[in-house]
Structure 1
């Protein structure tokens, strides 16, 4: 049945042509933008994934800049530490020469002082963008990665750069009072009271682990009385913590200082023991000591202290006397080792930063490739599809034209 009111053929041809035109518009958009998924309406799931990945790429590009800055900063410190090591080796040569008695030690001391001044100049100038890793104690963190978990949360990772103090500055016990007594260091009932002879007695000092912060200052004192074999002069043992220290570090250092002193004194009455797991230093007076022999253990605590510079002994080095020359020979080896350790530490961290930087670059490239695989258009396929659609469009137009001519054929029935 033919109808002049309803042209089914034209409607089908029109629907087909509209579909072809729509596909052609999509294909032309892919070719013009180079993307198969340019917005959320194209494919919301893939668009969301690619957008998050683009965000990560932007973050990694910023991290690359952070790593480059960190690498440059550490490189400056490493080069300076290596230069200091070379100069200290020259100082060692001067110190060795000063061991002879028939040399002009005054001139040698002048040379040592000049080298020392040069070392001070290098450590003071070894800064990058205002950050000097050869002075101070606070560690520095370099942002190294952004880690996305399966639930979508993001956490950051950092590479810690430990400062290596190569200054000749003299440290100082803190001058700021703690918030409450015992925040840093506490003692049992025997601390502050005389440990009497004739009976074994212990004074237990405990380091509060949570209070170990940069600048936290710890002090223990030993005071003998009567014929106690440590003498009657008060002896002071101090430790200033730096960032990263724990109670175990404080315990080890204080106990080590006391042990060295007791060994030098040849003490048989007083002993010291440490327990790093418990954070305690125990000073004991052996049973059997004379009744009048007593030892008093004292403690003190403060904040905002500063530690001696790593090259403190260099500032006081004086080879103009026999004793000074002998002491300098002992000190210089430790100073060289300090500088070598600093340079090695910086070299290790710089290597790690460079490895991480290479990894971040490769990771960014991989993410960009992944994004491209998700949203980039296949240009060869799009080109072939466009040509096919153009042919289909022409045929669709012809079909619609034929369908629109169908009602005209009805006129022939009335001739």
Structure 2
């Protein structure tokens, strides 16, 4: 049935044209924006997911900036601590030179003081954006924002890389070691505190006097063992070695004398005192005597860690006798250790005396170890930050790729679809035009 009031063909053609135009508009928007999901109306679920991921990308960009700042701060601290370590090694070389005979210890001390000032300068300058991790001004850890962790429920938790500060300051006030000035009650009381195995070992207030009955003699290929019997804060232990073959600056050797002293701290045990004296004497033998002489000192093991034994060569050497004097006093001051107040114990290094030179040899090793440990700690932290920087960069790229996969348009597909829709649009217009002409044919019925 034909009707001039209702044109079903035109209505069908019109709906088709509207559909084609709508799809064409979407395709044109996709091409102009480059996105297949440009707003929530395009795909609300995908749009929500992409926006959360975009917020994470922006968050990780901020994290990247935080990591870069932290990495720079740690790098400055590491470089400074490595420089301090090098300066301490230079200082050790000066101290080793002071162990020899015929050297100008006053000039060496001047060089050591100059190195101390240089260390102060390095520590003071080791700051980035006002943050100094080695000057001992704070013990608070530096927290570097490293990540934002999102769980399945959408909850976000921040993660940090903690960097421990290292105190390499040399400016903290220190107390110098002071040997005790109070005699033990008698020889027996002194021997209960500090005792040697030699027949003539006497531990009292007598000063060193070679050749008298207050000294022992260790002949070639012989030894003497010393025992720390008691320890109390302020107890002062002294060993004097005489007639030791010591290197001479510029070449050659000569018979020399060296003094080794240690004042006990409240926290020391007998093993601690024995270890310190062992280290001092060993350091001296290694720095100022020839290896062929076979001078050694060893600390006891097991139940004898409170003992140490001094050896004068072996069957293959022809060393002269070593004179040994040992004494103990009470009422001394331990002074600051190599680990107290950063590197402040550098201030106590004084090689102008025999006891100061030999004591400095052991102290500088402790200071070098402390600076080296600081360098290692900062190096480890910097490596961790670098790894996190790389990870965050890759993670950000992955998130961007994921967002692109969700919302970006396939331009090849969009181009082909655009051409197809344009053809469909032309055909739909033509179809509508034909449908609109259908009522004209009804006129022929009335002619």
Segments of 4+ in structure 1 off by > 4 A? Answer: 229-234, 256-259, 261-266
2:47 corresponds to:
47
Q: Deviations over 1:220-253 (max 9, x none)?
A: xxxxxxxxx777989xxxxxxxxxxxxxxxxxxx
Structure 1 equivalent of residue 64 of structure 2: 64
Report the CA distance shift for 1:342/1:230 in structure 2 as closer, same or farther (over 3 A). closer
The alignment partner of 1:260 has SS state of coil
Question: Contact (CA 8 Å) 2:141, 2:165: kept in 1 or not?
Answer: yes
Q: Does 1:158 align with 2:160?
A: yes
How far residue 309 of structure 1 moved from its aligned partner, in angstroms, is 2.6
> 1:14-25 residue pairs with structure 2 within 5 A?
14-25=14-25
| Helix, strand or coil at the partner of 2:158 | strand
The offset of 1:265, in angstroms, is 9.0
Measure how far apart 1:101 and its partner are: 3.9
Deviation at 1:258, TM superposition (A): 4.6
> Which residue in 1 is equivalent to 2:199?
none
- For 1:167 and 1:60, locate their aligned partners in 2 and report how far apart those are by CA, in whole Å: 36
Looking at structure 1, the residues matched to 273 and 32 of structure 2 have their Cα atoms a distance apart, in angstroms, of 88
d(CA) in 2 for partners of 1:230 and 1:93?
Answer: 33
1:99 deviates by 1.4
Report what 2:206 is aligned to. Answer: none
Distance (whole Å) between structure 2 residues aligned to residue 57 and residue 126 of structure 1: 33
Query: C-alpha deviations, 1:166-187, integer Å up to 9, x for none?
Result: 0113379xxxxxxxxxxxxxxx
Aligned partner of residue 170 in structure 2, secondary structure: coil
Shift of 1:310: 1.8
Alpha-carbon spacing, 1:171–1:50, altered in 2? closer, same or farther (3 Å) = farther
Residues 73, 127 of structure 2: 8 Å contact kept: yes
Tell me the residue number matched to 1:260. Answer: 268
| CA-to-aligned-CA distance 1:20-52 (integer Å, 9 cap, x gap) | 000000000000000000001110000000000
Structure 2 length normalisation: TM-score?
A: 0.64
Residues of 1 paired with 2:146 and 2:272: CA distance? Answer: 48
Question: What corresponds to 1:140 in structure 2?
Answer: 142
CA distance in 2, matches of 1:97, 1:72: 38
Corresponding residue of 2:29: 29
How many residue pairs are counted as aligned between the two chains? 298
RMSD (Å), alpha carbons: 2.1
CA distance in 2, matches of 1:171, 1:37: 67
Asked if 1:149 corresponds to 2:151, the answer is yes
Larger Rg: 2
Could you list the per-position Cα deviations for residues 151-209 of structure 1 after superposition, in whole angstroms to 9, with x for gaps in the alignment? Answer: 1000011111111110113379xxxxxxxxxxxxxxxxxxxxxxxxxxxxxxxxxxxxx
The normalised TM-score by structure 1 is 0.69
1:58–1:315 distance in 2 versus 1, CA, 3 Å? same
Match of 1:400 among 416, 422, 432: 432
- Tell me how far apart the structure 1 counterparts of residues 353 and 173 of structure 2 sit (CA, whole Å): 26
1:341-352 alignment runs, 5 A limit: 341-352=373-384
The separation in 1 between residues aligned to 2:443 and 2:153, in whole angstroms, is 71
Matched, 1:386 2:418: yes
Q: Report 1:94-243 matches (<5 A).
A: 94-136=94-136, 137-170=139-172
The correspondence of residues 345-384 of structure 1 with structure 2, limited to 5 A, is 345-384=377-416
Superposed displacement of residue 371, structure 1: 0.3
Query: Is the CA contact 1:168–1:308 (under 8 Å) kept in the aligned structure 2?
Result: no
Cα shift readout 1:47-87 (whole Å, capped 9, x = no counterpart)? 00000000000011111111111111111111111111111
**For the structure 1 residues 113 and 259, does the alpha-carbon distance in structure 2 shift closer, same or farther, using more than 3 Å as the test?**
closer
